[in-house]
Structure 1
Amino acid sequence: MKMFGMGGKVLSLFKELDLVCHQLCLELKHEYVQTVLPKPDIDRDKMTIYYMLFRMNEPQQAAGSYTKSVMVAEIGLNTHETMTCEKRTDKELLKQRQLTVLSGDFYSALYYYTLARQSNIELVKWVAQAIQNFNEYKCALFSPHVHFGWQELINEIKKIESALVGKIAHQLGFTHVVPYISDFFLL
Protein backbone atom coordinates (compact mmCIF):
# COMPACT_ATOMS: atom_id res chain seq x y z
CA MET A 1 0.00 0.00 0.00
CA LYS A 2 1.51 3.33 -1.02
CA MET A 3 0.52 6.69 0.38
CA PHE A 4 1.70 10.22 -0.17
CA GLY A 5 3.68 11.90 2.57
CA MET A 6 4.83 15.46 3.02
CA GLY A 7 6.06 17.07 -0.16
CA GLY A 8 4.20 14.54 -2.33
CA LYS A 9 6.64 11.70 -1.57
CA VAL A 10 5.26 8.21 -1.78
CA LEU A 11 5.48 6.42 1.56
CA SER A 12 4.97 2.76 2.28
CA LEU A 13 2.58 1.83 5.05
CA PHE A 14 5.52 0.87 7.26
CA LYS A 15 7.16 4.25 6.79
CA GLU A 16 3.88 6.00 7.50
CA LEU A 17 3.53 4.03 10.73
CA ASP A 18 7.13 4.82 11.68
CA LEU A 19 6.40 8.50 11.09
CA VAL A 20 3.25 8.36 13.23
CA CYS A 21 5.15 6.52 15.98
CA HIS A 22 8.00 9.04 15.89
CA GLN A 23 5.55 11.96 16.11
CA LEU A 24 3.74 10.22 18.97
CA CYS A 25 7.01 9.77 20.87
CA LEU A 26 7.72 13.48 20.50
CA GLU A 27 4.26 14.39 21.80
CA LEU A 28 4.63 12.07 24.80
CA LYS A 29 7.98 13.50 25.78
CA HIS A 30 7.96 15.29 29.10
CA GLU A 31 11.38 16.04 30.52
CA TYR A 32 10.58 15.91 34.23
CA VAL A 33 8.34 12.85 34.08
CA GLN A 34 11.05 10.95 32.21
CA THR A 35 13.49 11.52 35.06
CA VAL A 36 11.25 9.52 37.41
CA LEU A 37 9.16 7.18 35.25
CA PRO A 38 10.09 4.98 32.31
CA LYS A 39 9.11 6.02 28.81
CA PRO A 40 5.55 4.92 28.08
CA ASP A 41 5.21 1.82 25.97
CA ILE A 42 3.67 2.27 22.55
CA ASP A 43 1.65 -0.75 21.50
CA ARG A 44 2.62 -0.93 17.84
CA ASP A 45 -0.09 -3.50 17.14
CA LYS A 46 -2.84 -1.20 18.40
CA MET A 47 -1.28 1.76 16.67
CA THR A 48 -1.25 -0.16 13.38
CA ILE A 49 -4.87 -1.22 13.73
CA TYR A 50 -6.00 2.30 14.64
CA TYR A 51 -4.09 3.74 11.72
CA MET A 52 -5.53 1.23 9.27
CA LEU A 53 -9.08 1.82 10.56
CA PHE A 54 -8.74 5.59 10.26
CA ARG A 55 -6.87 5.38 6.96
CA MET A 56 -9.77 3.54 5.33
CA ASN A 57 -11.92 6.65 5.84
CA GLU A 58 -9.51 9.56 6.15
CA PRO A 59 -6.56 11.15 4.37
CA GLN A 60 -3.10 10.24 5.65
CA GLN A 61 -2.57 13.34 7.78
CA ALA A 62 -5.96 13.08 9.53
CA ALA A 63 -5.50 9.32 10.03
CA GLY A 64 -2.11 9.96 11.62
CA SER A 65 -3.47 12.69 13.91
CA TYR A 66 -6.43 10.58 15.01
CA THR A 67 -4.20 7.57 15.59
CA LYS A 68 -1.82 9.60 17.74
CA SER A 69 -4.72 11.04 19.73
CA VAL A 70 -6.31 7.68 20.46
CA MET A 71 -2.93 6.14 21.27
CA VAL A 72 -2.34 8.90 23.82
CA ALA A 73 -5.68 7.97 25.44
CA GLU A 74 -4.60 4.28 25.48
CA ILE A 75 -1.25 5.23 27.02
CA GLY A 76 -3.03 7.31 29.67
CA LEU A 77 -5.18 4.32 30.61
CA ASN A 78 -2.16 2.01 30.62
CA THR A 79 -0.16 4.45 32.75
CA HIS A 80 -2.89 4.52 35.38
CA GLU A 81 -2.84 0.71 35.31
CA THR A 82 0.78 0.69 36.52
CA MET A 83 -0.02 2.59 39.70
CA THR A 84 0.51 0.61 42.88
CA CYS A 85 -2.01 0.58 45.72
CA GLU A 86 -0.02 -0.81 48.62
CA LYS A 87 0.86 1.48 51.50
CA ARG A 88 4.20 3.21 50.95
CA THR A 89 6.28 5.25 53.36
CA ASP A 90 9.40 5.80 51.25
CA LYS A 91 9.26 9.36 49.87
CA GLU A 92 10.73 8.42 46.49
CA LEU A 93 8.19 5.64 46.00
CA LEU A 94 5.35 7.97 47.00
CA LYS A 95 6.65 10.56 44.56
CA GLN A 96 6.79 7.92 41.82
CA ARG A 97 3.18 6.90 42.52
CA GLN A 98 2.00 10.51 42.41
CA LEU A 99 3.87 11.11 39.17
CA THR A 100 2.34 7.96 37.69
CA VAL A 101 -1.14 9.35 38.36
CA LEU A 102 -0.20 12.80 37.09
CA SER A 103 1.46 11.46 33.95
CA GLY A 104 -1.64 9.37 33.19
CA ASP A 105 -3.68 12.54 33.62
CA PHE A 106 -1.20 14.44 31.44
CA TYR A 107 -1.62 11.88 28.65
CA SER A 108 -5.40 12.08 28.97
CA ALA A 109 -5.30 15.88 28.74
CA LEU A 110 -2.93 15.62 25.79
CA TYR A 111 -5.47 13.37 24.08
CA TYR A 112 -8.22 16.00 24.41
CA TYR A 113 -5.86 18.78 23.35
CA THR A 114 -4.77 16.85 20.25
CA LEU A 115 -8.34 16.10 19.20
CA ALA A 116 -9.47 19.65 19.91
CA ARG A 117 -6.93 20.83 17.34
CA GLN A 118 -8.56 18.48 14.83
CA SER A 119 -12.11 19.64 15.68
CA ASN A 120 -13.43 16.08 15.58
CA ILE A 121 -16.15 16.11 18.23
CA GLU A 122 -17.49 12.71 17.15
CA LEU A 123 -14.17 11.03 17.85
CA VAL A 124 -13.99 12.71 21.27
CA LYS A 125 -17.45 11.26 22.07
CA TRP A 126 -16.47 7.79 20.86
CA VAL A 127 -13.32 7.71 22.94
CA ALA A 128 -15.12 9.11 26.00
CA GLN A 129 -17.75 6.35 25.67
CA ALA A 130 -15.04 3.72 25.23
CA ILE A 131 -13.18 4.96 28.31
CA GLN A 132 -16.43 4.86 30.29
CA ASN A 133 -16.98 1.26 29.14
CA PHE A 134 -13.36 0.41 29.98
CA ASN A 135 -13.81 1.76 33.51
CA GLU A 136 -17.12 -0.07 33.98
CA TYR A 137 -15.57 -3.35 32.80
CA LYS A 138 -12.64 -2.85 35.17
CA CYS A 139 -14.96 -2.12 38.09
CA ALA A 140 -16.99 -5.25 37.35
CA LEU A 141 -13.82 -7.33 37.10
CA PHE A 142 -12.59 -6.25 40.52
CA SER A 143 -15.94 -6.03 42.27
CA PRO A 144 -16.01 -8.21 45.38
CA HIS A 145 -19.69 -8.90 44.68
CA VAL A 146 -19.15 -10.46 41.26
CA HIS A 147 -17.60 -13.89 40.79
CA PHE A 148 -16.57 -15.00 37.32
CA GLY A 149 -15.95 -18.47 35.96
CA TRP A 150 -12.89 -18.91 33.73
CA GLN A 151 -14.73 -18.25 30.47
CA GLU A 152 -16.50 -15.20 31.91
CA LEU A 153 -13.20 -13.90 33.24
CA ILE A 154 -11.56 -14.27 29.83
CA ASN A 155 -14.50 -12.47 28.20
CA GLU A 156 -14.24 -9.60 30.70
CA ILE A 157 -10.50 -9.25 30.11
CA LYS A 158 -11.13 -9.33 26.37
CA LYS A 159 -13.67 -6.49 26.71
CA ILE A 160 -11.22 -4.45 28.78
CA GLU A 161 -8.27 -4.95 26.44
CA SER A 162 -10.25 -4.04 23.33
CA ALA A 163 -12.69 -1.46 24.70
CA LEU A 164 -11.20 1.50 22.89
CA VAL A 165 -10.09 -0.10 19.64
CA GLY A 166 -13.34 -2.07 19.37
CA LYS A 167 -15.40 1.10 19.82
CA ILE A 168 -13.42 2.94 17.15
CA ALA A 169 -13.74 0.01 14.71
CA HIS A 170 -17.48 -0.17 15.34
CA GLN A 171 -18.03 3.57 14.93
CA LEU A 172 -16.02 3.65 11.71
CA GLY A 173 -18.22 0.93 10.23
CA PHE A 174 -15.94 -2.06 10.75
CA THR A 175 -18.15 -3.92 13.23
CA HIS A 176 -17.40 -7.21 11.48
CA VAL A 177 -13.73 -7.06 12.56
CA VAL A 178 -14.40 -6.26 16.24
CA PRO A 179 -14.48 -9.94 17.36
CA TYR A 180 -11.13 -10.56 15.63
CA ILE A 181 -9.61 -7.45 17.16
CA SER A 182 -10.89 -8.47 20.60
CA ASP A 183 -9.41 -11.95 20.26
CA PHE A 184 -6.11 -10.54 19.00
CA PHE A 185 -5.68 -8.21 21.98
CA LEU A 186 -6.53 -10.95 24.43
CA LEU A 187 -3.21 -12.60 23.54
Structure 2
Amino acid sequence: MNSYRIPEIAKQYTDYDMIQTHTDLPDFPDYRTRLLFAFLNGNSKLRESSELFALVTSLVQIGLDTHDRVSITNDVKEKKVARSRQMKVLAGDYFSSLYYNLLAQTGQIELVSLLSTAICEVNRQKMNLYMMMKQLKVSAEEYIQHLVEINSELFLSFSGYLEEMYHQAYPELLKGFTKCEVIFKEIFRTESAEDFQGSWGFWHILQNGSKEERKQLQAEEVDPLKVKMLMRKYNVSTQLYQMLDFHITQLFTLVHKLDSDKLISELFHIGEPFLRFLSKPKVLEEI
Protein backbone atom coordinates (compact mmCIF):
# COMPACT_ATOMS: atom_id res chain seq x y z
CA MET A 1 0.00 0.00 0.00
CA ASN A 2 2.11 2.88 -1.26
CA SER A 3 -0.48 5.46 -2.31
CA TYR A 4 -1.96 7.83 0.24
CA ARG A 5 -5.72 7.22 0.41
CA ILE A 6 -6.44 7.49 4.13
CA PRO A 7 -8.98 10.37 3.92
CA GLU A 8 -11.05 8.28 1.49
CA ILE A 9 -10.89 5.22 3.74
CA ALA A 10 -11.84 7.33 6.76
CA LYS A 11 -15.05 8.45 5.02
CA GLN A 12 -16.62 5.03 5.54
CA TYR A 13 -16.50 5.81 9.27
CA THR A 14 -17.28 9.54 9.19
CA ASP A 15 -19.82 9.98 6.38
CA TYR A 16 -22.94 8.76 8.16
CA ASP A 17 -26.21 10.45 7.25
CA MET A 18 -27.20 11.02 10.88
CA ILE A 19 -23.92 12.78 11.63
CA GLN A 20 -24.00 14.81 8.43
CA THR A 21 -27.61 15.84 9.06
CA HIS A 22 -27.30 16.96 12.66
CA THR A 23 -23.81 18.38 13.04
CA ASP A 24 -20.60 19.35 11.30
CA LEU A 25 -17.28 17.59 11.77
CA PRO A 26 -13.80 19.08 12.16
CA ASP A 27 -11.37 19.05 9.26
CA PHE A 28 -9.48 15.85 8.59
CA PRO A 29 -5.94 16.12 10.11
CA ASP A 30 -4.39 15.71 6.69
CA TYR A 31 -0.95 17.29 7.19
CA ARG A 32 -0.15 15.22 10.27
CA THR A 33 -1.64 12.03 8.85
CA ARG A 34 0.27 12.34 5.57
CA LEU A 35 3.49 13.01 7.45
CA LEU A 36 3.03 9.96 9.69
CA PHE A 37 2.13 7.78 6.70
CA ALA A 38 5.19 8.97 4.75
CA PHE A 39 7.55 7.98 7.56
CA LEU A 40 5.82 4.68 8.32
CA ASN A 41 5.51 3.72 4.68
CA GLY A 42 9.20 4.44 4.12
CA ASN A 43 10.10 1.80 6.70
CA SER A 44 10.15 -1.72 5.21
CA LYS A 45 9.19 -3.25 8.58
CA LEU A 46 6.19 -0.95 9.06
CA ARG A 47 4.99 -0.57 5.47
CA GLU A 48 2.25 -3.21 5.75
CA SER A 49 0.78 -1.50 8.82
CA SER A 50 1.41 2.12 7.76
CA GLU A 51 -2.07 2.68 6.40
CA LEU A 52 -3.80 1.14 9.42
CA PHE A 53 -1.66 3.06 11.94
CA ALA A 54 -2.19 6.39 10.18
CA LEU A 55 -5.92 5.71 9.77
CA VAL A 56 -6.64 4.89 13.41
CA THR A 57 -4.58 7.86 14.60
CA SER A 58 -6.51 10.22 12.33
CA LEU A 59 -9.84 8.81 13.57
CA VAL A 60 -8.82 9.32 17.19
CA GLN A 61 -7.80 12.89 16.34
CA ILE A 62 -11.16 13.54 14.67
CA GLY A 63 -12.88 12.16 17.77
CA LEU A 64 -10.95 14.49 20.08
CA ASP A 65 -11.51 17.46 17.77
CA THR A 66 -15.24 16.68 17.59
CA HIS A 67 -15.49 16.71 21.38
CA ASP A 68 -13.74 20.09 21.38
CA ARG A 69 -16.70 21.47 19.45
CA VAL A 70 -19.17 20.55 22.17
CA SER A 71 -20.33 23.71 23.95
CA ILE A 72 -19.28 23.94 27.60
CA THR A 73 -22.80 24.78 28.75
CA ASN A 74 -26.07 23.14 27.80
CA ASP A 75 -28.25 26.21 28.25
CA VAL A 76 -29.68 26.29 24.73
CA LYS A 77 -32.85 24.20 24.65
CA GLU A 78 -33.75 24.74 21.00
CA LYS A 79 -34.20 21.25 19.55
CA LYS A 80 -31.86 21.56 16.56
CA VAL A 81 -29.01 22.98 18.64
CA ALA A 82 -29.49 20.41 21.39
CA ARG A 83 -29.49 17.58 18.84
CA SER A 84 -26.30 18.91 17.28
CA ARG A 85 -24.62 19.01 20.69
CA GLN A 86 -25.70 15.46 21.48
CA MET A 87 -24.45 14.25 18.10
CA LYS A 88 -21.03 15.84 18.64
CA VAL A 89 -20.69 13.96 21.93
CA LEU A 90 -21.78 10.64 20.41
CA ALA A 91 -19.75 11.08 17.21
CA GLY A 92 -16.64 11.99 19.17
CA ASP A 93 -17.03 8.90 21.35
CA TYR A 94 -17.58 6.76 18.26
CA PHE A 95 -14.51 8.01 16.39
CA SER A 96 -12.33 7.76 19.49
CA SER A 97 -13.40 4.16 20.08
CA LEU A 98 -12.78 2.93 16.54
CA TYR A 99 -9.08 2.46 17.10
CA TYR A 100 -9.79 -0.23 19.73
CA ASN A 101 -11.76 -2.28 17.25
CA LEU A 102 -9.53 -1.76 14.22
CA LEU A 103 -6.31 -2.47 16.09
CA ALA A 104 -7.72 -5.42 18.04
CA GLN A 105 -8.81 -7.05 14.78
CA THR A 106 -5.19 -7.10 13.64
CA GLY A 107 -3.70 -7.99 17.01
CA GLN A 108 -2.02 -4.62 17.52
CA ILE A 109 -2.65 -4.56 21.28
CA GLU A 110 0.54 -2.67 22.05
CA LEU A 111 -0.61 0.20 19.86
CA VAL A 112 -3.96 0.36 21.69
CA SER A 113 -2.05 1.06 24.90
CA LEU A 114 0.20 3.55 23.13
CA LEU A 115 -2.69 5.62 21.78
CA SER A 116 -4.64 5.37 25.05
CA THR A 117 -1.68 6.90 26.88
CA ALA A 118 -1.43 9.64 24.26
CA ILE A 119 -5.14 10.44 24.57
CA CYS A 120 -4.74 10.89 28.34
CA GLU A 121 -1.81 13.22 27.75
CA VAL A 122 -3.77 15.26 25.19
CA ASN A 123 -6.63 15.70 27.65
CA ARG A 124 -4.20 16.73 30.39
CA GLN A 125 -2.62 19.34 28.13
CA LYS A 126 -6.01 20.65 27.07
CA MET A 127 -7.10 21.05 30.69
CA ASN A 128 -3.90 22.94 31.50
CA LEU A 129 -4.43 25.29 28.55
CA TYR A 130 -8.09 25.77 29.44
CA MET A 131 -7.20 26.77 33.00
CA MET A 132 -4.49 29.16 31.80
CA MET A 133 -6.87 30.78 29.33
CA LYS A 134 -9.64 31.04 31.89
CA GLN A 135 -7.26 32.84 34.26
CA LEU A 136 -5.90 34.98 31.38
CA LYS A 137 -2.41 33.66 32.11
CA VAL A 138 -1.32 32.67 28.62
CA SER A 139 0.69 34.74 26.14
CA ALA A 140 0.14 34.64 22.39
CA GLU A 141 3.35 32.67 21.92
CA GLU A 142 2.44 30.19 24.66
CA TYR A 143 -1.01 29.77 23.12
CA ILE A 144 0.51 28.64 19.81
CA GLN A 145 3.01 26.38 21.53
CA HIS A 146 0.32 24.67 23.61
CA LEU A 147 -1.80 24.04 20.49
CA VAL A 148 1.19 22.55 18.71
CA GLU A 149 1.85 20.19 21.63
CA ILE A 150 -1.81 19.18 21.86
CA ASN A 151 -2.26 18.59 18.14
CA SER A 152 0.96 16.65 17.65
CA GLU A 153 0.78 14.38 20.72
CA LEU A 154 -1.09 11.45 19.12
CA PHE A 155 1.21 11.38 16.11
CA LEU A 156 4.33 11.66 18.28
CA SER A 157 3.45 8.27 19.73
CA PHE A 158 5.07 6.60 16.74
CA SER A 159 8.50 8.19 17.12
CA GLY A 160 9.93 5.07 18.75
CA TYR A 161 8.60 2.88 15.94
CA LEU A 162 10.64 4.62 13.28
CA GLU A 163 14.19 3.94 12.17
CA GLU A 164 16.73 5.31 14.62
CA MET A 165 17.95 7.93 12.16
CA TYR A 166 14.47 9.55 12.29
CA HIS A 167 13.94 9.48 16.07
CA GLN A 168 14.85 13.17 16.28
CA ALA A 169 13.91 14.34 12.79
CA TYR A 170 10.32 13.05 12.88
CA PRO A 171 9.24 14.90 16.08
CA GLU A 172 10.87 18.11 14.82
CA LEU A 173 9.16 17.86 11.45
CA LEU A 174 5.83 16.87 12.98
CA LYS A 175 5.86 19.89 15.28
CA GLY A 176 6.99 22.09 12.39
CA PHE A 177 4.10 21.02 10.18
CA THR A 178 1.69 21.26 13.12
CA LYS A 179 2.83 24.79 13.93
CA CYS A 180 2.26 25.86 10.31
CA GLU A 181 -1.17 24.23 10.40
CA VAL A 182 -2.08 26.01 13.66
CA ILE A 183 -0.97 29.41 12.33
CA PHE A 184 -2.78 28.72 9.05
CA LYS A 185 -6.04 28.18 10.95
CA GLU A 186 -5.42 31.24 13.11
CA ILE A 187 -5.21 33.39 9.97
CA PHE A 188 -8.73 32.36 9.05
CA ARG A 189 -9.96 33.16 12.54
CA THR A 190 -9.27 36.81 11.69
CA GLU A 191 -12.06 36.68 9.12
CA SER A 192 -14.77 37.40 11.67
CA ALA A 193 -15.12 38.92 15.11
CA GLU A 194 -17.07 35.84 16.22
CA ASP A 195 -14.00 33.61 15.80
CA PHE A 196 -11.67 36.14 17.43
CA GLN A 197 -12.38 35.27 21.07
CA GLY A 198 -9.57 33.08 22.40
CA SER A 199 -7.57 33.26 19.17
CA TRP A 200 -3.90 34.20 18.75
CA GLY A 201 -5.01 37.75 17.93
CA PHE A 202 -6.99 37.94 21.16
CA TRP A 203 -3.99 36.94 23.28
CA HIS A 204 -1.65 39.17 21.30
CA ILE A 205 -3.79 42.26 21.86
CA LEU A 206 -4.44 41.32 25.48
CA GLN A 207 -0.68 41.13 25.91
CA ASN A 208 0.21 44.35 24.07
CA GLY A 209 -2.91 46.51 24.21
CA SER A 210 -3.76 49.39 26.50
CA LYS A 211 -5.76 48.98 29.69
CA GLU A 212 -8.88 50.21 27.91
CA GLU A 213 -8.36 47.85 24.96
CA ARG A 214 -7.88 44.89 27.28
CA LYS A 215 -11.08 45.87 29.04
CA GLN A 216 -12.92 45.89 25.69
CA LEU A 217 -11.72 42.37 24.91
CA GLN A 218 -12.89 41.04 28.27
CA ALA A 219 -16.38 42.54 28.09
CA GLU A 220 -19.31 40.11 28.23
CA GLU A 221 -20.53 41.38 24.87
CA VAL A 222 -17.67 42.41 22.61
CA ASP A 223 -18.36 45.00 19.90
CA PRO A 224 -17.46 43.35 16.54
CA LEU A 225 -16.55 46.72 15.01
CA LYS A 226 -14.11 47.48 17.84
CA VAL A 227 -12.61 44.02 17.46
CA LYS A 228 -11.96 44.62 13.77
CA MET A 229 -10.41 47.98 14.54
CA LEU A 230 -8.11 46.40 17.12
CA MET A 231 -7.10 43.64 14.71
CA ARG A 232 -6.14 46.26 12.12
CA LYS A 233 -4.34 48.43 14.68
CA TYR A 234 -2.18 45.54 15.88
CA ASN A 235 -1.67 44.05 12.40
CA VAL A 236 -2.94 40.67 13.54
CA SER A 237 -3.41 39.22 10.06
CA THR A 238 -0.09 40.57 8.77
CA GLN A 239 1.82 39.15 11.72
CA LEU A 240 0.23 35.73 11.27
CA TYR A 241 1.17 35.72 7.58
CA GLN A 242 4.74 36.61 8.54
CA MET A 243 4.80 33.86 11.16
CA LEU A 244 3.59 31.29 8.65
CA ASP A 245 6.20 32.41 6.12
CA PHE A 246 8.98 32.18 8.73
CA HIS A 247 7.99 28.75 10.02
CA ILE A 248 7.43 27.19 6.60
CA THR A 249 10.94 28.35 5.66
CA GLN A 250 12.32 26.78 8.83
CA LEU A 251 10.37 23.62 8.14
CA PHE A 252 11.71 23.19 4.62
CA THR A 253 15.24 23.75 5.92
CA LEU A 254 14.71 20.74 8.19
CA VAL A 255 13.25 18.71 5.33
CA HIS A 256 16.36 19.37 3.22
CA LYS A 257 18.51 17.70 5.90
CA LEU A 258 16.87 14.29 5.43
CA ASP A 259 18.89 11.63 3.63
CA SER A 260 16.04 10.28 1.53
CA ASP A 261 15.20 12.03 -1.74
CA LYS A 262 11.85 10.22 -1.86
CA LEU A 263 10.92 11.37 1.63
CA ILE A 264 12.10 14.92 0.92
CA SER A 265 9.90 15.03 -2.19
CA GLU A 266 6.88 13.72 -0.27
CA LEU A 267 7.29 16.23 2.56
CA PHE A 268 7.67 19.15 0.17
CA HIS A 269 4.46 18.00 -1.50
CA ILE A 270 2.72 17.97 1.89
CA GLY A 271 3.84 21.54 2.60
CA GLU A 272 2.99 22.86 -0.85
CA PRO A 273 -0.49 24.19 0.14
CA PHE A 274 1.17 26.57 2.63
CA LEU A 275 3.37 28.00 -0.12
CA ARG A 276 0.42 28.41 -2.49
CA PHE A 277 -1.52 30.19 0.23
CA LEU A 278 1.35 32.58 0.99
CA SER A 279 1.66 33.47 -2.69
CA LYS A 280 -1.95 34.70 -2.86
CA PRO A 281 -2.98 38.33 -2.20
CA LYS A 282 -3.59 38.90 1.50
CA VAL A 283 -7.27 39.81 1.23
CA LEU A 284 -7.99 39.09 4.89
CA GLU A 285 -6.31 42.33 5.95
CA GLU A 286 -9.16 44.32 4.42
CA ILE A 287 -11.79 42.80 6.74
Query: What TM-score, normalized to structure 1?
Result: 0.81
Q: Is the 8 A contact 2:25 2:66 kept in 1?
A: no
- Specify whether residues 148 and 40 from structure 1 end up closer, same or farther in structure 2 by C-alpha distance, changes over 3 A only: closer
Gaps of 5+ in 1: 6-12
Percent identity over the alignment is: 23
Partner of 2:110: 122
Give the alignment's Cα RMSD to 1 decimal.
Answer: 2.2
- Deviation at 1:25? 1.2
Question: Distance in 1 between the 2:25 and 2:140 partners?
Answer: 34
Counterpart mapping for 1:52-131 below 5 A: 52-57=38-43, 58=45, 60-86=47-73, 87-131=75-119
Partner of 1:168: 158
Partner of 2:124: 136
Q: Deviations over 1:149-187 (max 9, x none)?
A: 343333222211211112222453543121231122122
User: Which deviates more, 144-153 or 112-121?
Assistant: 144-153
- Specify whether residues 42 and 151 from structure 1 end up closer, same or farther in structure 2 by C-alpha distance, changes over 3 A only: closer
- Where 1:162 maps in the other structure, the secondary structure is helix
Structure 2 counterpart of 1:180, from 161, 173, 179: 173
- Deviation at 1:41? 2.7
Query: What TM-score, normalized to structure 2?
Result: 0.55
Partner of 2:18: 32
Question: Distance in 2 between the 1:156 and 1:59 partners?
Answer: 30
Partner of 2:138: 148
- Specify whether residues 59 and 175 from structure 1 end up closer, same or farther in structure 2 by C-alpha distance, changes over 3 A only: closer
Gaps of 5+ in 2: 181-287
State the one-letter code of the partner of 1:133.
E
- Where 1:17 maps in the other structure, the secondary structure is coil
Aligned residues: 173
Question: Distance in 2 between the 1:166 and 1:134 partners?
Answer: 11
Question: Distance in 1 between the 2:143 and 2:15 partners?
Answer: 35
